[in-house]
Structure 1
Amino acid sequence: MIVRAAVLPHPPLLVPQLVSGATEETEPVRRACLEAARWLAEATPRWSAVAVDEVGSRVIEPATRGSFSGYGVDVPVSLSEMPDGVGRTDPLLPLPALIAGWLREHAGADEVRVRLVTPELDPDQCWLVGHELVDALAGPEPVALLVLGDSSPRHGERAPGKPDPRAGDFDEAVRVALADADADALMDIDPELAAELGARGRSAWQVLASVAQSSGVSWRGEVDYSGAPYGVGYHVARWEPGA
């Protein structure tokens, strides 16, 4: 049974060793992400993650290791607590899975299973994935849902993508939907607009919306961070079933 959900971004800048010259500027979003991850771990050490990767939809099992060496520093991570020599090392573990493992380790969770979806997944398909997750995780054992996705990289002059004046309104609407735990509003995000703005987290957010809609209970939300350092929109939010 899914007892809590947290929405986080997954940029490399969360890992201090990868941004040694900018740790102070990136500290607010890093702190919010770690606090949200610890909040998940307080409820249960067993996590299921949904994240976006353009390579294709697949599931990465907890018995997997990887490293941030492709991002400049060999920071090893694992998706579960495993003795040395146990598990599979994937030298091409995608960034969201690496961040999921890094968050797991720093929050003290036992394991995280990562379900990757493509950024092009349409809302109906996202609904099916969320519905399947609810069914798969039903039962007495508590599970926390970690939802990883970045928003538009088109905010202002520091944007890595071409600045787009629509990015501000788009991310404000996402922030409000996350704060209100408004699954309908998340599901109504226009995938074409999200794609134009480079908001690749859209499909993961809509899987979360489906989870909430399929769970049969109401949810309440809280946003811990919403900003655009370096021109990229990041949101950190916590959802849990309401009374």
Structure 2
Amino acid sequence: MIVRAVVVPYAPLLVPELVVGQVPEVSEVRRACVAAVGALAASSRRWIAVAPGFGEVADDAAGSFRGFGVDVRVRLNQNTEGDFDPALPLPVLIAGWLREQAGAQTVSVQLVSPSATSAQCRALGERLARAANSPVGLLVLGDGSPKHGERAPVRPDPRASDFDQQVHTAFKNADTEALLALDEGLAAELGAQGRSAWQVLAGTGSGWQCVSSELMVPFGVGYHVVVWDRVEP
């Protein structure tokens, strides 16, 4: 069964080698994410990850952040040996990097289209929950809107703040129905590509409690860092 779930962004700024100098806002996001996956590894060293994207990812994949400027290499399985694929998607690279930071053994990545409907996301979450026949951790990778205020990397949108606050409230309350009810069209307009991955988490069913939930908005991008635990029956 899925015994703990963690939500983090998949921003390149998490990797210290990709950031020039010490930036307090970056350090705070990185600290929160590393602490969250540390909690995930404490519950299970075997993870399932869900992230926005397309196609399939081999469980023994290995890759490099070379395309982001530095040849930092990561593996999805601690026992993997061999070639490093320079074309692995960013969320997969971040999943591998976080696995190594937490000392987890494996992370199996499931990519879900950012345009998947709420019903499709729920169905995938249900399948993942049924397939987990031993204790596993669920790593959910997804960014909020990059359209917050004057520091936004793209044209800002005044709706971004309310949207990410709505998401934050749903995480804080472990409200799976609220996550499944997120407006798919609005999320797309706001560039919140994490929406589909968040709804897969919601599809794993009720019976969650929130341990911690943070919303940070450095550089105009909404980042959610969340830890959920299963409620004792």
Rate the CA distance shift 1:166–1:222 in 2: closer, same or farther, 3 A. Answer: farther
Tell me by how many angstroms 1:156 deviates.
0.6
The reply on whether 1:180 has 2:173 as its aligned counterpart is: yes
Moved over 3 A (4+): none
Residue matched to 1:92? 87
| CA RMSD of superposed structures (Å) | 1.2
Partner of 2:72: 75
* 1:60 Cα deviation from its structure 2 partner: 1.6
Deviation at 1:59, TM superposition (A): 3.2
Which AA in structure 1 matches 2:56? V
Structure 1 counterpart of 2:229: 240
The answer to whether structure 1 residue 145 and structure 2 residue 104 are counterparts is: no
Residues of 1 paired with 2:131 and 2:30: CA distance? 31
2:51 counterpart of 1:63: no
2:153 corresponds in structure 1 to 160
1:128 and 2:123 matched = yes
Q: Is this contact kept in 1: 2:171–2:213, CA < 8 A?
A: no
Who is 1:11 aligned against? 11
Instruction: Say whether the 8 Å CA contact 2:52–2:142 is kept in structure 1.
Output: yes
Letter in structure 2 aligned against 1:32: A
Choose from 202, 206, 225 the match for 2:195: 202
Q: TM-score, normalised by structure 2?
A: 0.96
Q: Which residue of 2 aligns with 1:34?
A: 34
**Structure 1 position 128, deviation (Å):** 1.1
Cα gap change, 1:116/1:88 in structure 2, threshold over 3 Å: closer, same or farther? farther
1:160-192 per-position Cα deviation (integer Å, ceiling 9, x unaligned): 121111111111110010011000000000000
1:52 aligns to what? Answer: 52
Alpha-carbon distance in 2 for matches of 1:12, 1:222? 25
Instruction: Name the aligned partner's letter for residue 177 of structure 1.
Output: A
204-213 or 21-30: bigger deviation:
21-30
Q: Calculate percent identity across the aligned residue pairs.
A: 53
**2:218 maps to 1:229:** yes
Per-residue deviation, 1:82: 1.9
Secondary structure of 1:47's aligned partner: strand
| Separation (CA, whole Å) in 1 of partners of 2:231 and 2:130 | 20
Tell me the TM-score normalised to structure 1 length.
0.92
Q: 1:87 and 1:135 mapped to 2: Cα distance?
A: 32
The alignment of Structure 1 onto Structure 2 pairs a total of residues equal to 232
In structure 1, runs of 5+ residues without a counterpart are none
Q: Which amino acid aligns with 2:201?
A: L
2:83 & 2:211 partners in 1: Cα distance? 36
Show CA shifts across 1:17-64 (max 9, x none).
Answer: 1012344330111001000001010111100000002xx2x3323311
State the alpha-carbon separation in 2 of the partners of residues 61 and 2 from structure 1. 21
Cα distance change of structure 1 residues 46 and 2 upon mapping to structure 2, 3 Å threshold? same
| Structure 2 gap segments, 5+ residues each | none
Structure 2 equivalent of residue 24 of structure 1: 24
